[in-house]
Amino acid sequence: MKNEIAVVKAGSIAEEMEIEVGDILVSINGEAVKDIIDYKFLISDEYVEIEIQKPDGEIWELEIEKEYDEDLGVEFKDAILDTPRSCHNKCVFCFIDQLPKGMRETLYFKDDDSRLAFLQGNFVTLTNMSEEDIERIIKYRISPINVSVHTTNPELRIKMTNNRFAGNVYSRLKRMADAGISINCQIVLCPGLNDGDELERTIEDLYKLYPQIENLAVVPVGVTKFREGLFKLDLYNKITAAEQLDRVAKMQRKYIKELGVPFVRMSDEFYVTAERELPATEFYDNFKQLEDGVGMIRIFRNHIRDSLVHLQKDIKGSFTIVTGASAYNEVLKAAESIMAANPKIDISVKKIINYFFGETITVAGLITAKDIIEQLRCEIIGKCVIIPDCMLRKGYELAYNKEKVFLDDITVEGLEKTLNRKILVCDYTGEDLIKIINEHCEEE
């Protein structure tokens, strides 16, 4: 049921007011709560009157005094209190269109919902938003909002999204920026479509909206083996990836001179593909774009370097770390540094080839349990297998399902049973890797 409370946090206002799991939030200050945006905005005052409907139909009217912006301490059964809005685009690079048949139904759902952008950091195209939606973002000061731009060329954006209404993205971005809304932008770069001169045009257009557009990430298109009948797309190679890096580097130098920051950053995949060294830590401005794969390798190196001093020397153990082709060399170097610091710890690193989606998909976050099983089943592996948490599905449909699930619907528990090994889930940035190793080793 809509607005049904799924969690009441211990010590919260809700617990104090005897609000319980299964109760329904009816209204706040006499206004119906349509979705999570309404809730966040209406609940922010220091004094609120709320209506709660109990499971037996009884209505409670509660008066609450609290700190400004203090939450009730509840979580809802449906993360956005409503049915997510689906995307009406048919983007030439859409990853969902490249999924094989037979997977869980929710995996084929294309969300393009500004509320999920606010809640979970999802990127939206703005093409499926009404004028009322834009006004609500401005009225409620929803920030930051994450926008997939791809290009500011109206005709090209219409072509890339296959949506005749997609050409107004820049005017909408400018309208929100003028209203003080913070925006993060993303470009999925497709060879021969929106790269080269078109990329430079898009970057320059978005730069005009700085500082409201503070960060711009550029990521390469992903191409699976399931593209029959879809728009033909190429992949970046060593030469073409380097060309894009060099073009953007010229712009970054200009922006650094003008602002002190590069404004636009390329994802790690470009550097790995071009076989280039990554920028220094300072370049990444506290790593605000990790979800776009920007700076992941650099922060991983930093975490291993800084936490290695905490590796216990009086322990022994054996581990296998699984990762994708892109991160393999980096993870291998990390394993070697850990074993050099304590030779009694044995770590093997297994590069998992993505047969499920196709070998062109090299990132760890798209590896399935099936590929892990097939490629480790006959291998000699450690007593514990370490996986990065980016391999596990995240999304609105799992908001209150704490089960850890891979993209192919196999659970971590299922993988443990099949491999007969303990599966340890590590932060994809490597922040807790040394801690995990310490905790699952044996004392000598």
pLDDT in tens, 12-65: 999 999 999 999 899 899 988 877 777 877 888 899 999 999 999 999 999 999
For 248, the token pair is 């953007």
Range with the poorest average pLDDT among 49-58, 118-127, 206-215, 377-386: 118-127
Q: Average pLDDT over the chain, rounded to whole?
A: 88
For 11, what's the count of Cα atoms within 13 Å in the CB-facing half-sphere?
0
State the Cα–Cα distance between residues 364 and 278, nearest whole angstrom: 18
Over the stretch 131-177, which tens digit does the pLDDT of each residue have?
A: 888 888 888 787 888 899 999 999 999 999 988 988 999 999 999 99
Are 52 and 24 a contacting pair, CB within 8 Å? yes
Average pLDDT over residues 361-376: 95
Range with the poorest average pLDDT among 28-32, 201-205, 255-259, 385-389: 28-32
pLDDT score recorded for residue 396: 45
pLDDT score recorded for residue 114: 45
pLDDT score recorded for residue 112: 45
Range with the poorest average pLDDT among 31-35, 148-152, 248-252, 413-417: 31-35
Q: What is the DSSP letter of 321?
A: E
pLDDT score recorded for residue 34: 78
pLDDT score recorded for residue 121: 53
Q: Which residues contact 346 (CB under 8 A, 6 or more apart)?
A: 317, 318, 319, 339, 382
pLDDT top residue among 419 and 83: 419
User: 3-class SS at 322?
Assistant: strand
pLDDT score recorded for residue 1: 57
State the Cα–Cα distance between residues 25 and 83, nearest whole angstrom: 17
For 151, what's the count of Cα atoms within 13 Å in the CB-facing half-sphere?
22
Are 266 and 245 a contacting pair, CB within 8 Å? yes
For 300, the token pair is 């991983």
Of 239, 306, 303, nearest to 276 by C-alpha is 239
Look at the pTM and tell me if it is higher than 0.85: no
Sign of the alpha-carbon dihedral angle for 239, 241, 242, 247:
positive
**Would you list the domain boundaries of the chain?**
5-76, 96-290, 300-443
Q: At 48, which helix (H) or strand (E)? A: strand 47-53
Query: In the predicted model, is pLDDT for residue 295 greater than 80?
Result: yes
Q: At 63, which helix (H) or strand (E)? A: strand 59-65
Over the stretch 84-133, which tens digit does the pLDDT of each residue have?
A: 555 666 788 887 777 777 665 555 445 544 455 454 457 788 887 778 88
Please say whether the structural domain 96-290 has been given the CATH code 3.80.30.10: yes
pLDDT score recorded for residue 106: 55
Over the stretch 303-317, which tens digit does the pLDDT of each residue have?
A: 999 999 999 999 999
In the beta sheet, which residues pair with residue 319? 347, 384
- What proportion of the chain, given as a percentage, has pLDDT over 70? 90
Query: In the predicted model, is pLDDT for residue 373 greater than 60?
Result: yes
State the Cα–Cα distance between residues 299 and 388, nearest whole angstrom: 14
Range with the poorest average pLDDT among 141-155, 243-257, 323-337: 141-155
Structurally, at CATH architecture level, domain 5-76 sits in Roll (2.30)
In the beta sheet, which residues pair with residue 411? 405
pLDDT score recorded for residue 400: 44
CATH topology of domain 300-443: Rossmann fold (3.40.50)
User: 3-class SS at 132?
Assistant: helix
Q: Which residues contact 246 (CB under 8 A, 6 or more apart)?
A: none
